[in-house]
Copies of this chain bind each other. A is one copy, B any other.
Amino acid sequence: MLKFSKKADYALLALQYMAMVQYGINAVPRVVNTKEIAEEHNIPLELLAKVLQTLARHQLIESHHNGPKGGYVLGREPKDITIAQVLESIEGPLGLTDCSQEKYQSTCDQMARCNIRTPLLKIQDSVLQLLNGMSIEDMMVDESPFVIIESVKPEGVSS
């Protein structure tokens, strides 16, 4: 419940990676291709390809060109790519319930006596605000890829 889809996960992962390559500390900006990201993160190449295509279509990234040395770059600065935009590109308009999209409202035969629509929209609003307030930049937690989370390891390795 409330789970991101794999595609959304992959998208965030990829964007974060690209952001690090282009804007990270000591970064040497360059074009990155699908294969590189897929191998880096161990995700199915073809699926990631599709995800990136979608992101490109929504201008979050730009396909540099085809052929050898082709690839993608971010379409804007990391701080200008919000989590909400990413999710929306991948999954279509966000909404806790169908009736938050106007075009579906007519199909809901309980609109009239639906008392939960309003409070639901309120929740949804807050969630959206949250997702809109967070960008790829916020995911660029410096360089260290290895952050030991103590809950993984049984005994106090953290020190």
Contacts and interface: CB of A to CB of B under 8 A. Distances in A.
Nearest to A41: B110
Contacts of A114: 13, 41, 145
Interface string A141-159: 1000111010110000110
Contacts of A120: 4, 12
A116 B13 contact: yes
Contact of A12 (B116, B122, B130): B116
Interface string A73-104: 00000000001000110111011111010100
Count identical subunits in the complex.
Answer: 2
A118 B8 CA distance: 16
Nearest to A147: B118
A96 B15 CA distance: 18
SS class, residues of chain A in contact with chain B: helix
Contacts of A41: 110, 113-114
Contacts of A94: 1-2
Given A41-B110, A110-B42, A134-B119, A5 B1 contact: yes
B92 A1 contact: yes
Contacts of A126: 130
Interface of A: 1-5, 8-9, 12-13, 16-17, 20, 40-42, 83, 87-88, 90-92, 94-98, 100, 102, 105-106, 109-123, 125-127, 129-132, 134, 138-141, 145-147, 149, 151-152, 157-158
